[in-house]
Structure 1
Amino acid sequence: MQLAASSLSRSEDAQQMGWDKLFMVAPPLLKHSENMLAELFEAVWGAVYEDCGAKDHVVRECYVKCFPERCKAPSGAE
């Protein structure tokens, strides 16, 4: 199964945080594990958003701390 670039990115981010080591999948579902990691990533960040009272800035601060390389402005941008 080919993942869309955005799903692949979320799956990679989940792996960067080590969530793939906590994620248990039954053998028949292994072929879907990348997509499931992407969905786990979305679910966790969605829960953080909800638990913070839907305050974007709180989630953004957490995300920047976890993924500073993804949050850098493109070169030449101000």
Structure 2
Amino acid sequence: MEFFTEVINVMKLLVCGFGAGMAVIGGINFASGHSQHNASKKEDGMGQLMGGGGIFLIGILLVPKLAEFFSI
């Protein structure tokens, strides 16, 4: 059971890191599009920002539920 707990912790870290990185890149793209008055780049940046935030929340909220699933 320790193995599954460790795998879940690593998976949580990877998913949260990927989501946070995607959100940061989205924020940069949004700010760049805003400063250049480029609506398309702002839209893409906001999509990346929201998508990254969603992935981050999945890492925090849903991945730990896998630990409960494997402990049964």
TM over 0.5: no
More helix by share: 2
Structure ranking higher on relative contact order (CA contacts 8 Å, 6+ apart)? 2
Q: TM-score, normalised by structure 1?
A: 0.33
Rg larger for: 2
- Normalised TM-score (structure 2): 0.36
